């Protein structure tokens, strides 16, 4: 069973506000990811981390930033939210543990910027 948690599940916020989406995992995974997905559309990788203090931008340019100070925690921050940031944000993590590199997803945060 995957133990990866995202909060909040739903967020409606005004334009210009700063927001942080939380993601935590208790599986000891070294790699963590943030994906952005609009309804009915494909997943887009926006950030990933392969360990503490190591982060990379993904394929889709994003105005968000991430940090990885602890293995289990990978928050995503938007300094000034805009309506174009309205989307679903999915966090995932993967091992390897025992040779497995399977990635597991959190339940997602659905962000609406008004």
Partner 1 sequence: QKEVEQNSGPLSVPEGAIASLNCTYSDRGSQSFFWYRQYSGKSPELIMSIYSNGDKEDGRFTAQLNKASQYVSLLIRDSQPSDSATYLCAVNKDSGGSNYKLTFGKGTLLTVNP
Does 102 interact with partner 1 (rule: CB under 8 A)? yes
Does 26 interact with partner 1 (rule: CB under 8 A)? no
In angstroms, the CA 90 to CA 60 distance is 14
Stretch that binds partner 1, among 10-18, 36-44, 63-71, 72-80 (CB under 8 A): 36-44
CB of 74 to partner 1, least distance (A): 14
In angstroms, the CA 96 to CA 52 distance is 15
**Of 21, 76, 90, 113, the one binding partner 1 by CB under 8 A:** 90
Q: Report which DSSP code applies to 84.
A: G
C-beta closer to partner 1: residue 16 or 25: 25
Q: Report which DSSP code applies to 97.
A: B
CB of 80 to partner 1, least distance (A): 26
Q: Of 89, 82, 75, 78, which Cα lies nearest the Cα of 36?
A: 89
Sign for the CA dihedral angle at 36, 61, 75, 85 comes to negative
| Contact positions vs partner 1 (CB under 8 A) | 2, 31, 33, 35, 39-40, 42-43, 45, 48, 50, 54, 56, 90, 92, 94, 96, 100-108
């Amino acid at each position: 069973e995957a133990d990866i948690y995202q909060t909040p599940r739903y967020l409606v916020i005004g334009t210009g506000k700063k927001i942080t989406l939380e993601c935590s995992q208790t599986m000891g995974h070294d790699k963590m990811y943030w994906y952005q997905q609009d309804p009915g559309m494909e997943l887009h990788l926006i950030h990933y981390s392969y360990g503490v203090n190591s982060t990379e931008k993904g394929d889709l340019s994003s105005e968000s930033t991430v940090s990885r100070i602890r293995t289990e925690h990978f928050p995503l921050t938007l300094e000034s939210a805009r309506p174009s940031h309205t989307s679903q944000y999915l966090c995932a993590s993967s091992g390897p543990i025992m040779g497995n590199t399977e990635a597991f997803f959190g339940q997602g945060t659905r962000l609406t910027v008004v």
